[in-house]
Chains A and B, each alone.
Chain A
Amino acid sequence: MDDKYSSNVLSSGRLGRVEVPNARLTRYIVLLLVTKLLKALGIFESYDLLKVVHIVQFIFILKLGSAVILVFFQKPFSSGKAISKRQWIKLLKHAVISCIISLLGFFGLTLCGPLRALLLFEHSDVVVIALLCVLFTSTGGGPSKTRGAALFIVAVICLLLFDNDDLMAKLAEHPEGHHDSTLTHALYTAIAFLGLADHKGGVVLLVVSLCLKIGFHTASRKLSVEIGGAKRLYALDNLVSSVVLLPWVIVLSVTTESKVESWSSLLLPFGMIILSVMILEFYVESICITKMEAPRCARYSSVFLFLSGLLLANFWTHPLTDQLRSMSKPPVHDSTETEHVLSGGVLVSAVFFIMADTILSSPSKKGQKGTLVGYSPEGTPLYNFMGDALQHTSQSLPHFIKESLKQILEEYDSRQIFYFLCLNLAFTFVELFYGVWTNSLGLISDGFHMLFDCSALVLGLFAALMTRWKATRIFSYGYGRVEILSGFINGLFLMVIAFFVFVESVTRLVDPPNINTDMLTPVSVGGLLVNLVGICAFSHAHSHGAAKSSCSSHDHGHSHGHSEQNHGHSHGAHGHGGHGQSSHGQSSHGHSHGSSHGHSHGGGMNANMRGVFLHVLADTLGSVGVIISTILIRQFGWLIADPICSLFISTLIFLSVIPLLTDAAEVLLLRTPPEHEKDLNVALEKIEKVEGVLSYRDPHVWRHSASVVAGTIHLQLMSGVVEQRIIQQVTAILKDAGVNNLSVQVEKEAYFQHMSGLSTGFHEVLAMTQQMETMKSLNDGTCIM
């Protein structure tokens, strides 16, 4: 039990984390794996042994055996400094406590089986200390640790509540008075007093003893230093505890008759348990902790241990292994195959335990993602924190939900979508529950269909949220395009659906099936109502947005400006600077011009909302179609009405989606925004006339998102003009035309020389020189003008 003395948690946690490459550690990891497998095997074996051997005897034998071996290896008496009397007393206390803990542990093992004992009891100190830190201190180490602790607790609860171990069998097997000794009886009655079932009592017992074990380990660290090393302490401790247990064992063997037929047949299993559980594990663990860092070792070991426990639990009570065991040794017990079987709860909790251990034992990554850029002139190291390093810090989940809810409710669009999504989901769930209750398959499948429809809404909501994310280093223009992409995806989605409906209705047209119309009407009327609400809401949003853009366009522009923060801001500053220097009349004129244009688009429905709206519209049309065809079929018996309706509707959907798709595709293809095209042409003409500009080249203007229109242009200037003034003028002109994210590159003759040096293609250079010549001639022309 006392196997992890040397896991000096605190010291290893403080030192800087050095990632050792895995390749060098492979053999240690393999060693750890083998050891953990052996340990799991030993614990399973000891569970079987504990059925026949009394627990105190069992522990005594374990301690004695390991003491003999350890004394032989470690030579605690001949090597090291002598141990004083006071230390002996401390050792005695230590041994007594360790005896108690192992007693509790093994008693828990008898109560709830080897796999559950493994899952509960065999956590390393690092994990438990992290867990306790999270639970009982305010600075637990961040949200990821909290998540790990939550997982751990959920796993324990799973084991407590959802693991229907064979209670009945155990209860029948354990009548009062069956217990061999007063000790186990006392423990048993204590657990029964708590009102817990047998294996649940074991679970609680194991958790308590786990905490005790960890506390004990931490407390004994000082003693281990005093004694002179963890290994020596371990050897001495085993020796002393076997001495402590000796009188009890003698008393026990005198008073009670043993169930064991032949002790010699148990020699082999005992030896194996001693070797695997007590000795080998201790040594390997201490080696691995010195080679790897403690958290990593803890992570690997717990994962290996749990996995091997699961593996063994699967095969341990298997008839085949029983046969094998009975071949190798006399049957020590008649195995009841249904005892402590694998159940769903155990599996789930094992998975949770593994996850929790991995999270809890992983070191916190705060501030470690920066990369060393170099050294400053003063010699201090400079780190480069990438933008995404800050984003990768894990967020707390409840906090995240709260934040995103707040964000959703902040803006009109996303609020609208969110409410409608809630309505839709509520309707769906009502439908599903009603369907399950009345056991009607039609309702259930319709409910699932609705759920599927909700995905479009979720997509729209997500896009509306994401649009407002700030620009990062990676997405330097911000996430505004998500909106357009989402609209595009929704449109495509609708297209596919319309296509399938079309094909389906064509096949039905050929061969109209008989439709059961009883259930259809109420459901489709309900759906229609819900969707009508949606249409009202979204079309309201549309008109509202339009109205807003016409009367209070400032408000709208303002909010957009905030969402893309730094870009628009700095641009605004530039534009103003330009105005200050250029002619005043033009600037004022341009200003009103630009703003009206910018907002006429921003106020209209964006692609995302259009996609969602179309989706809702399609659903509405679908329910209308169903209602009409139901009525027709009922009244007149026209079975053909259904496919005709669906044909009609699918065509309608198809046609209504096309504009959305073309618009979105145009934006995605970086088309010059059509609504700015005229202004841009005017602006380009104006640019030509700016004094000092020879010509321009490669004017690229494209819409990035609803609020960002980006543009780039190359200007060719005459030599000897002030570049800055021209840049500002051009920026102002283009800004008036609606381009709010512009960069202007000024080229003079030297630039062409440079480019021709840079590019090796001959015809490229040729083209350049030709261009230069034409420009020169043009230059003359303008000069004359």
Chain B
Amino acid sequence: MLPLSIKDDEYKPAKFNLPAKISGWFRSILSDKTSRNLFFFLCLNLSFAFVELSYGIWSNSLGLISDSFHMFFDCTALLAGLAASVISRWRSNDSFSYGYVRAEVLAGFVNGLFLIFTAFFIFSEGVERALEPPHVNHDRLLPVSVAGLLVNLVGIFVFQHGGHGHSHGGDDGHGHSHSLFNGSVGGGHRGHETKHGHEDGHSHGDGHSHDDGHGHSHAGHGHSHGGHGHSHEDPHCHDELHTPGKGSSKQILQGVFLHIVADTLGSVGVIISAILMQNYDLMIADPICSICISVLIGVSVVPLLRESIGILMQRTPPSLDQALPECYQRVQHLQGVYNLQEPHFWTLCTDVYIGTLKLLIAPDADSKWILSQTHNIFTQAGVRQLYVQIEVAAM
């Protein structure tokens, strides 16, 4: 971490080697489970779209061609997710000192926005059609939409499963160490207790991670539940958060998952309305289905959007909302601390919280002790990186 080593980056050869780069990307894609899943599903989707497109051109049906273009557009969401999951593992450099981990939040946000756009367009289209139902040609609809449904079901299965596996694999210490430390415990004692807390965390970890996996399938509800209350403490990670071993996480997965769910819902809607139209001649079924689906999509996207906007706007993490005032109280009760100023807490990426604050302390107070205690208190609450600026009050 010395400046000498930082400058080393500049001496790397900057030649542009496309094949090497591509193979590097491939390797990084395949190295992580999430991005591997994403990649395979993208391939599946793309091949389906190409088959559809070529069949459409061959049979000269405009509907199939436009549907395949729609599929391509859908693939952009997957592509965004994939790109984000690769980018978020890039090393941090001089310009991006936190690394690119935020890409995942951004990808989730973009996906959510796209979904909102799509839902809006479908909605307006549905309203338009509800006013005057056009005659839909439903001969070819059914097989295509059934095939699309199958593809998407595979996607749902994979990502739900992926979510499970991911959280099972990645639970290297969701500590449940509330009130294991006390603000006044001595230094020598501390190490021992931390270890204790860590082991405790391991035993807790399984149940917890199960919760997490559940959250993915429920898309937004259980997910936030996972983060609440329990303080996620990853003791491994103080310096290394630029290269989180966990790989891509909630936001991307949630965004992609929502997208696939939306597609699946769309195909289900098309199938239902096609059946209704074929058997009962209910022309109104199509617009009603699409309106319902668009509303469903819109509603399910809102939690994702809200969360990612919160992160992007440097909101105080919702899971810390309850814990922070208590922490402030405890810090202010430390001996020699006069005041606590400008507390800023924000989320870097999933479960990585960063905080800065300023402490005004008495001139004769032990600043080192206060610093370590403050770190202690906030680490328990789940803040990974804390910057405490200590200022001595003028007498």
Q: List chain A positions with a Cβ less than 8 A from chain B.
A: 373-374, 384, 386, 473-477, 479, 481-482, 485, 489, 492-493, 496, 499, 503, 507, 566-567, 570, 665, 668-672, 674, 677, 681, 684, 688, 695, 697-702, 704, 710, 712-714, 723-724, 727, 741, 743-746, 748, 750-751, 753-761, 764, 767, 771, 774, 778
Contacts and interface: CB of A to CB of B under 8 A. Distances in A.
Contact of B356 (A493, A669, A712): A712
A767 B237 CA distance: 12
30 contacts: A373-B325, A474-B321, A475-B315, A475-B316, A479-B313, A496-B114, A496-B117, A507-B66, A668-B102, A668-B106, A671-B96, A681-B94, A698-B1, A699-B97, A702-B97, A710-B344, A712-B387, A727-B389, A743-B387, A743-B388, A745-B387, A746-B390, A751-B371, A751-B372, A754-B190, A754-B372, A755-B375, A757-B187, A760-B194, A774-B2
A381 to B, nearest CB: 15
B102 A757 contact: no
B309 A485 contact: yes
A668 B191 CA distance: 37
B1 A764 contact: no
Contacts of A748: 368
A753 B312 contact: no
B114 A724 contact: no
Nearest to B371: A751
B315 to A, nearest CB: 5
A677 B316 contact: no
Contacts of A507: 66
A576 to B, nearest CB: 14
B195 interface: yes
Contacts of A744: 387, 389
Contacts of A567: 342
B321 A771 contact: no
Nearest to A499: B73
Contacts of A479: 313
A485 B102 CA distance: 14
A778 B2 contact: yes
Given A485-B312, A745-B388, A764-B236, A702 B98 contact: yes
B60 to A, nearest CB: 12
B325 to A, nearest CB: 6
Given A567-B342, A743-B356, A672 B236 contact: no
A750 B368 contact: yes
Contacts of A503: 69
Nearest to A714: B387
A382 B390 CA distance: 27
A669 B102 contact: yes
Contacts of B272: none
Given A386-B325, A702-B98, A743-B387, 17 more contacts: A475-B314, A476-B314, A485-B309, A492-B114, A493-B117, A670-B348, A674-B95, A695-B1, A741-B344, A743-B357, A754-B371, A754-B375, A757-B190, A758-B238, A760-B235, A767-B239, A774-B2
A481 B105 CA distance: 15
A753 B187 contact: yes
A760 B194 CA distance: 7
Contacts of A750: 368, 372
Contacts of A489: 113
A700 B356 CA distance: 12
Given A670-B102, A672-B96, A760 B372 contact: no
Query: Which 5 pairs of residues, A with B, have the shortest CB-CB distance?
Result: A754-B372, A743-B356, A757-B191, A761-B236, A712-B387
Contacts of B354: 712
Interface residues of B, number: 65
A711 B341 CA distance: 16
Contacts of A724: 391-392
A681 B391 CA distance: 26
Contact of B313 (A473, A475, A499, A743): A475
A774 B354 CA distance: 27
Interface string B328-354: 010000000000011111101000001
Contacts of A760: 194-195, 198, 235-236
Nearest to B65: A507
Contact of B100 (A669, A674, A681): A669
Contacts of A761: 235-236
B379 interface: yes
A759 B390 contact: no
A747 to B, nearest CB: 8
Nearest to A574: B391
Contact of B190 (A699, A723, A758): A758
A744 B387 CA distance: 7
Contact of B97 (A700, A764, A771): A700
B117 to A, nearest CB: 6
Given A753-B187, A764-B236, A670 B98 contact: yes
B391 to A, nearest CB: 7
B200 to A, nearest CB: 12
A688 B73 contact: no
Contacts of B102: 668-670
B313 A485 contact: yes
A721 to B, nearest CB: 12
B113 A492 contact: yes
B228 interface: no
A743 B368 contact: no
Contact of B238 (A671, A684, A759): A759
A666 to B, nearest CB: 8
B207 interface: no
A745 B97 contact: no
B239 A672 contact: no
Nearest to A747: B371
A752 to B, nearest CB: 10
A515 B391 CA distance: 72
